[in-house]
Amino acid sequence: MLNQSFNGGIVIDSPHPVEVVEIILAPLPDKVVLPLQQRIGGEAIPCVSVGDKVLTGQVIAKTDDYFCVPIHASISGTVVIIDDQTIPHKSGLRSKCITIESDGKDQWIEHTGCGVDFLHCDQATMIKYIQASGIVGLGGAGFPAHAKLEGIQDCHTLVINGTECEPGIMCDDALMQHHPRDVIRGVEILLHICGAQRAVIAVEDDKQEALNSLLMHCHDDRISIEQIPTKYTSGAEKLLIKVLLGIEVPSGKFAIDIGVICQNVSTTKAIFDAVVENKPLVSRIVTVTGSGVKSPNNYEVRLGASFEHIVSMANPNTNHHSVRMGGMMMGVDVETTRMPICKITNCIFVNNIETKPNTQECIRCGQCNQVCPVNLLPQQLYWYAKNENTDKAMDYNLADCIECRCCDYVCPSHIPLAEYFSFAKALHRKTTEDQYRTDIARERFEFREYRLERTKQERAKMMAAKKEELKKKMANDKAQKGKIAAAMARVKKTKKVSDDVQ
């Protein structure tokens, strides 16, 4: 196996390291708020009403959208309200949510899975359980797991991403340390589904305990566990594949196009829970860290519990804080800790508020170009993005930018480069969509004109044919009449001859 690195990227020490990486079970929340809008796809439709009693794991909303999964009650209790609430998303938008008040009993609804001896289940059945259990990518992407697995052909390698996507996040490390058996069984399930001959679990080289735990529980020759250098952004799918397998995923293509399936390690454990333990996804492990908490650690918490439910357990100081969902690099700032934890909430950063340095002019130092992990030229892109010249930015492969913020991080002028790139991409999408709409409108107009002209010509042709037909008919009728008159004249003549003879 090739074990390569990639150009660029940055090494950032964990900003708030802990001595022992634990998973602390958070108490059952008094209430949960479950958004019906998922990361992608349409909004789910509630199948419960206010006042209904629900059990933990019961489906409370669903949709026919293929890219969505059902939403389950994460506690047992009563549905108290269905209304619009602010959800943790960079748009700051509100979405319809179902609020459940706990009855304190945590009574579960029964679910069906394949059980411990899962090999008797076929792939389609397993994928059905995975979708029905509400599993999406827990690494932060939120892409539905079943959609990644359905219809797979020619997959030779399964890659399990055990790298933390950003410095400071510890939830996957905690999972590998404390649930190694379930992770390995999850990998076996995935191998059964995708038919790959081998699986590689990637673990960063600063996570020795996680590596040891996995090695201790792995007795399947098809599975290997590889240490990779701890470098941000090695968790990005394409880069991880390059580092682990030495294979480049071409621009504009996906991992599966080169026969590789990539799943996050927490998603893999959730798949094990769904298929073997018959449990839908109703909780997740969340890292709480940052300069604003005295006891950073990982908490297993029910989905829909508020951020403050677990932030309060991490011993926050009394300063004013800024709160960020996700990592320090690619996370999203949120207004308040009264937001619900959702499936993609892998980390909550609580920081003391600090004054941000002012942005200066670009001094053309080129440092941003050196750290870009996908080999772009951020300095050049910045120039085009700033001037809203998105066509030129696209020529410089703006679409490949993964918005990792490595360029921001090293920029001595503190220019928020990734924000410019995100804006330029959105602008380009809009311009392209507008252009597309204009093209479609023009095509529709041209087609209508063509259709009208064609109808006119067809009608004229039809009228000419009818006229011709009528002409022929009239000539026929005339000839017929002549024949009849001649016949009648003959009969008359014959009759006269006969009368004369008599």
- How, if at all, do strands 198-204 and 297-302 pair? unpaired
Question: Which position among 353, 365, 441, 452 is part of the footprint of ligand SF4 (CB under 6 A)?
Answer: 365
Nearest CB to ligand SF4, comparing residues 6 and 307: 6
Nearest CB to ligand SF4, comparing residues 78 and 370: 370
Q: Which stretch binds ligand SF4 (CB under 6 A): 72-80, 200-208, 406-414, 464-472?
A: 406-414
Q: Which stretch binds ligand SF4 (CB under 6 A): 109-117, 372-380, 451-459, 478-486?
A: 372-380
Q: Which of 29, 13, 18 is nearest to 293 (CA)?
A: 18
The site that binds ligand SF4 (CB under 6 A) totals a number of residues, namely: 28
Nearest CB to ligand SF4, comparing residues 78 and 413: 413
Nearest CB to ligand SF4, comparing residues 166 and 173: 166
Q: Which stretch binds ligand SF4 (CB under 6 A): 33-41, 84-92, 314-322, 376-384?
A: 376-384
Contact map string, positions 378 to 397, toward ligand SF4, x by CB under 6 A? xx--x---------------
Tell me how far, at minimum, the Cβ of 342 lies from ligand SF4, in Å.
Answer: 25
Phi, psi of 72 (to 5 degrees): -110, 150
Nearest CB to ligand SF4, comparing residues 228 and 424: 424
Does residue 356 bind ligand SF4 (CB under 6 A)? no
* Dihedral sign from CA coordinates of 253, 257, 260, 266: positive
The pair of three-digit structure tokens given for residue 256, joined into one six-digit string = 């599966």
Tell me how far, at minimum, the Cβ of 426 lies from ligand SF4, in Å.
Answer: 14
Does residue 366 bind ligand SF4 (CB under 6 A)? yes
Q: Three-class SS of residue 136? A: strand
- Write the DSSP assignment of 224-249 as a string of letters: EEEEE---BTTTSHHHHHHHHH--PP
Nearest CB to ligand SF4, comparing residues 59 and 393: 393
Nearest CB to ligand SF4, comparing residues 12 and 55: 12
Nearest CB to ligand SF4, comparing residues 69 and 402: 402
Beta bridge partners of 306: 340
Nearest CB to ligand SF4, comparing residues 288 and 418: 418
The pair of three-digit structure tokens given for residue 159, joined into one six-digit string = 């890659």
Tell me how far, at minimum, the Cβ of 254 lies from ligand SF4, in Å.
Answer: 17
Q: Which stretch binds ligand SF4 (CB under 6 A): 88-96, 99-107, 195-203, 409-417?
A: 409-417
Instruction: Say if CB 229 and CB 162 are below 8 A apart.
Output: no
Question: 296: which residues sit within 8 A by CB, 6+ positions away?
Answer: 16, 18, 170, 287, 288, 289, 290, 314
Does residue 363 bind ligand SF4 (CB under 6 A)? yes
As a whole number of Å, the CA-based R_g of the chain is 34
Nearest CB to ligand SF4, comparing residues 189 and 368: 368
Nearest CB to ligand SF4, comparing residues 81 and 365: 365
- The half-sphere exposure of 67 on its side-chain side, counting CA atoms within 13 A, is 9
Q: Which stretch binds ligand SF4 (CB under 6 A): 196-204, 244-252, 284-292, 401-409?
A: 401-409
- The half-sphere exposure of 129 on its side-chain side, counting CA atoms within 13 A, is 24
Q: Three-class SS of residue 479? A: helix
Nearest CB to ligand SF4, comparing residues 223 and 406: 406
Does residue 426 bind ligand SF4 (CB under 6 A)? no
Instruction: Say if CB 48 and CB 97 are below 8 A apart.
Output: no
Three-state secondary structure readout of 439-473: HHHHHHHHHHHHHHHHHHHHHHHHHHHHHHHHHHH
Q: Three-class SS of residue 59? A: strand
Could you give the strand order of the β-sheet that contains 157-161, starting from the edge strand earlier in sequence?
223-228, 198-204, 157-161, 260-264
The pair of three-digit structure tokens given for residue 354, joined into one six-digit string = 């600090």
Instruction: Measure the N-to-C terminal CA separation of the chain; round to a whole number of Å.
Output: 125
Q: Which stretch binds ligand SF4 (CB under 6 A): 30-38, 164-172, 327-335, 402-410?
A: 402-410
Question: Which position among 75, 98, 189, 368 is part of the footprint of ligand SF4 (CB under 6 A)?
Answer: 368
Three-state secondary structure readout of 277-295: CCCCCCEEEEEEECCCECC
Tell me how far, at minimum, the Cβ of 240 lies from ligand SF4, in Å.
Answer: 15
Does residue 302 bind ligand SF4 (CB under 6 A)? no
Helices (H), 350-389: 367-371, 378-386
Contact map string, positions 214 to 253, toward ligand SF4, x by CB under 6 A? ----------------------------------------
Does residue 288 bind ligand SF4 (CB under 6 A)? no
Strand blocks (E) in 87-234: 94-102, 157-161, 198-204, 223-228
Q: Which of residues 167-206 bind ligand SF4 (CB under 6 A)?
A: none
Instruction: Write the single-letter amino acid at 301.
Output: V
Does residue 362 bind ligand SF4 (CB under 6 A)? yes
Tell me how far, at minimum, the Cβ of 141 lies from ligand SF4, in Å.
Answer: 16
Question: Which position among 106, 142, 413, 427 is part of the footprint of ligand SF4 (CB under 6 A)?
Answer: 413
Binding site for ligand SF4 (CB under 6 A): 362-368, 371-372, 374, 376, 378-379, 382, 401-407, 411-413, 415, 417-418, 421
